[in-house]
Amino acid sequence: MEGKTHLLGGICIGSVVHYYSFGTSLEISQSFLLIGSSLVGSILPDICHPGSTAGRKTKALSKRIAAFFGHRTVTHSLFFLFFVNWLVSYLPLASNDVVQNGILAGMISHYILDALTVRGIKLFYPLPIRVRFPIFIKTGSSKEGFVLSGLSIVSLWYLYVLFI
């Protein structure tokens, strides 16, 4: 999937997690923190691709990861998901639960969206098993536009319910 689809997936999953986990109990700053951290989580797994949204921000690290592991391997695995979750749990933030839930949700949305592509992901890395849905789409195709539209509708609905 393209970066814009992952970012919208992050907004979508962040607003859904907000609604079902916290309802309207969060202060507005915590709401922004939750959705913002889900945006970060939604692009984080592509740190393994130097041309991606995350890879361009961390060029040197991204090139090293890509050279050593390749794309959609270790950073698209359950190991990486648990590692990032463990790492974030040690951040000295007052709203650590909000940040942790947001990053985790964003990463999961990234994994789901990439599992919808032709190449799929290596969810169980280092095992060479590729995971993808039986119905898959080509990155950048018109079908991805339908996914983007669906994510937009769901995001707008939940954001409306939460903030209006």
pLDDT tens, residue by residue, 133-154: 999 999 889 999 999 999 999 9
Q: How confident is the model at residue 61 (pLDDT cuts 50, 70, 90)?
A: confident
pLDDT bucket at 94, cuts 50 / 70 / 90: low
pLDDT of 95 > 80? The answer is no
Q: How many domains does the chain have?
A: 1
| Amino acid letter, residue 134 | P
* CA–CA dist 144, 138 (Å, integer): 7
Global confidence as pTM: 0.92
The pLDDT score that the predictor gives to residue 159 is 92
- Quote the pLDDT of residue 156: 95
* Reported confidence tier of residue 129, pLDDT bands at 50, 70, 90: very high
Q: At residue 66, does pLDDT exceed 90?
A: no
Amino acid at 102: G
Reported as a pLDDT band with limits 50, 70 and 90, residue 60 is confident
Q: Is the pLDDT of residue 39 over 80?
A: yes
Q: Domain range for residue 16?
A: 3-163
Q: In this prediction, what percent of the chain has a pLDDT beyond 70?
A: 99
**What is the rounded average pLDDT for all residues in the chain?**
91
Structure tokens at 91: 């951040």
Quick one: three-class SS letters along 109-139?
Answer: HHHHHHHCECCCECCCCCCCCCECCCCCECC
